[in-house]
C-alpha cells in the first residue's frame, strides 16, 4: 500500500516525544509498504529543517518536514496559528501526493483539513483520534465562545462522518466516539511500548539513588495536573519522609511557575530535569520507585492514552495514576499500581510512602507491569493491528 500520514509531531527515539508514528511506519516500510509522513517541527522532537519544506528519508520512511515550530510554551493564539499553517500547507500534499490510504492524526483537530481535502480526491481516509478534541479544550475552559465551540464540534463531526474508519488511542476514546457517531466504524489502537528500548537494563542515573524517587516525565502543564505532585511533596516533607523524592523530566507552560513554587516553599524533595532523548530517559524510568501519571480530574481525561503509562510499564515500573476510566480498570485488573483521587494529594503521598515501605510488593507490581506491556502494548503487535485496519479500508 501507499500510505500518506498527516501527523504534526513526528519524532524518532532520539527526540523527547512519543514515537508511535515512527515505530509503526518503520514496521510498515519493513513489510514492503510505501509511507510518506507530513510533519512539522515540534520542540520535543528531533526533526529539523533548513528550509521551509525539506524531504527526509528516515529508515525508509519518507518524511516531508514543514518548517513550522510548535511548542507547548507558546501562547494559545500562537499555537493555533501553527496548526493553521501546517493544515494549509499539508492540504497541498493531500491534493497532489499519491495514496491508497490517508491517515489524519489529531490533535489538533485542524489536521482534519488535509484529511478532508484528500477525501475530495476520492482517497480512503482513516482518522486517528489521539484525544477527544475539541471536547478536552472546551472542558478545560480554553475555548469559551459558544459560536466557536459549535463550529469546532461541527468540524469534528464532518471529519468523523467522512472517514472510512476512526482509530481511537484508547478503549475510552473508542466508546465515546462510537456512542456519539454510531454509524461510524470505530476501532481502538492504543499507544505502544518499545520493549526493545525500555526493558533493556541500564545503570541508575549518577545523581539519583535507585528506588528513592517517584518520576513524572512529559509535558508539565495544567492538563497533566502537575501542581498536584508538589502538593504531595509538601505533605511528604511535613511527615518527615525525606527519603522519597519527586523528579520531573520535561518542559511545559507550568514549569516556570512550579520551579518558583518549589523555591518559595522550600520543597527540597523535588527536582526538575530538562528534556532528554528517549534513549537517555530509560535509566531514569527503570530505577524509579514508581511512575506518576496524573491528569486534571475532569471526566474527559478518563479516556486518555499517555505515552508515559506504556513506557513506564515497559521499563518494569509500577504506576500511580488519577483517571477513573479504562486505565483504572487496567491497573486494577493486572495489579500493576494504584489509582488515587486527583483532588486529594494526601492519597498520593500515602501511596508513595506505602510503596517505599513495601519494596517487595512494589517490585512485584513492576514485574507484572512489564509482562502486561509485552502482552498487550508491544509496538509491533499494535503496528500490525493498525495496518490490518488500513488494509480492510483499502480493500473495501
Residue identified by cell 493555533 is: 80
End-to-end distance of the chain based on CA atoms, in angstroms?
14
- With beta carbons less than 8 A apart as the criterion, state whether 241 and 319 touch: no
What pLDDT does 283 receive? 96
Contacts of 92 (CB under 8 A, 6+ apart): none
User: Cα 65 to the chain's mean position, in Å?
Assistant: 21
Q: Return all residues near 120 (Cβ < 8 A) that are at least 6 apart.
A: none
Q: Report the pLDDT value the prediction gives residue 80, as an integer from 0 to 100.
A: 86
Over its C-alpha atoms, the chain yields an Rg (Å, rounded) of: 21
- What pTM did the predictor assign? 0.91
H and E: helices and strands count for the chain: 15, 14
In order of start, what are the domains of the chain with their CATH numbers? 2-192+378-395 (3.40.50.2000), 195-376 (3.40.50.2000)
SS3 label, residue 131: coil
**Mean predicted lDDT score pLDDT of the chain:** 95
The CB density around residue 362, as the number of other CB atoms within 10 Å, is 18
Whether omega before 108 lies within 30 degrees of 0, making that bond cis, reads yes
* Segments in the chain below pLDDT 50: none
Distance CA 34, CA 56 (A): 14
Taking only the tens place, the pLDDT of each residue in 72-97 is 778 878 888 999 999 999 999 999 99
pLDDT digits (tens, 9 = 90+) for 110-159: 999 999 999 999 999 999 999 898 888 888 888 888 998 999 999 999 99
Amino acid at each position: 500500500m501507499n500510505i500518506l500520514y498527516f501527523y504534526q509531531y513526528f519524532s524518532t527515539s532520539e527526540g523527547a516525544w512519543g514515537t508511535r508514528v515512527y515505530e509503526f511506519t518503520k514496521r510498515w516500510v519493513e513489510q514492503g509498504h510505501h509511507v510518506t509522513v507530513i510533519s512539522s517541527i515540534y520542540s520535543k522532537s528531533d526533526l529539523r529543517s533548513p528550509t521551509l519544506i525539506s524531504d527526509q528519508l528516515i529508515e525508509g520512511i519518507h518524511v516531508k518536514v514543514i518548517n513550522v515550530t510548535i511548542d507547548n510554551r507558546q501562547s494559545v493564539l500562537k499555537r493555533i496559528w501553527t496548526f493553521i499553517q501546517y493544515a494549509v500547507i499539508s492540504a497541498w500534499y493531500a491534493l497532489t501526493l499519491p495514496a491508497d490510504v490517508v491517515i489524519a492524526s489529531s490533535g489538533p483537530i485542524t489536521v482534519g483539513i488535509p484529511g478532508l481535502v484528500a477525501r475530495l480526491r476520492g482517497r480512503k481516509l482513516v482518522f486517528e483520534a489521539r484525544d477527544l478534541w475539541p471536547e478536552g479544550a472546551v472542558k478545560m475552559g480554553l475555548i469559551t465562545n459558544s459560536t466557536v465551540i459549535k463550529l469546532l464540534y461541527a468540524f469534528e463531526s464532518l471529519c468523523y462522518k467522512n472517514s472510512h474508519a476512526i482509530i481511537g488511542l484508547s478503549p475510552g476514546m473508542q466508546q465515546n466516539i462510537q456512542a456519539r457517531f454510531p454509524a461510524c466504524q470505530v476501532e481502538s489502537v492504543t499507544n505502544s511500548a518499545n520493549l526493545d528500548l525500555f526493558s533493556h537494563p541500564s545503570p541508575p542515573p549518577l545523581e539519583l539513588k535507585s528506588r528513592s524517587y517517584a518520576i513524572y516525565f512529559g509535558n508539565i502543564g495544567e492538563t497533566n495536573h502537575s501542581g498536584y505532585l508538589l502538593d504531595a511533596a509538601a505533605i511528604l516533607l511535613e511527615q518527615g519522609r525525606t527519603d522519597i523524592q519527586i523528579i520531573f523530566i520535561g518542559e511545559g507552560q507550568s514549569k516556570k511557575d512550579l520551579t518558583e513554587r518549589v523555591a518559595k516553599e522550600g520543597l527540597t524533595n523535588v527536582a526538575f530535569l530538562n528534556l532528554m532523548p528517549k534513549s537517555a530517559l530509560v535509566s531514569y524510568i527503570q530505577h524509579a520507585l514508581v511512575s506518576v501519571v496524573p491528569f486534571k480530574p475532569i471526566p474527559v481525561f478518563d479516556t486518555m492514552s499517555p505515552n508515559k503509562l506504556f513506557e513506564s510499564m515497559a521499563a518494569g515500573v509500577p504506576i500511580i495514576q488519577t483517571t477513573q476510566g479504562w486505565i483504572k480498570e487496567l491497573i486494577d485488573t493486572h495489579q500493576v499500581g494504584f489509582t488515587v483521587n486527583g483532588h486529594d494529594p494526601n492519597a498520593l503521598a500515602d501511596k508513595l510512602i506505602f510503596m517505599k515501605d513495601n519494596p517487595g510488593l512494589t517490585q512485584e507490581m513492576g514485574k507484572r507491569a512489564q509482562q502486561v506491556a509485552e502482552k498487550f502494548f508491544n509496538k509491533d503487535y499494535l503496528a500490525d493491528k493498525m495496518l490490518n485496519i488500513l488494509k480492510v479500508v483499502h480493500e473495501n
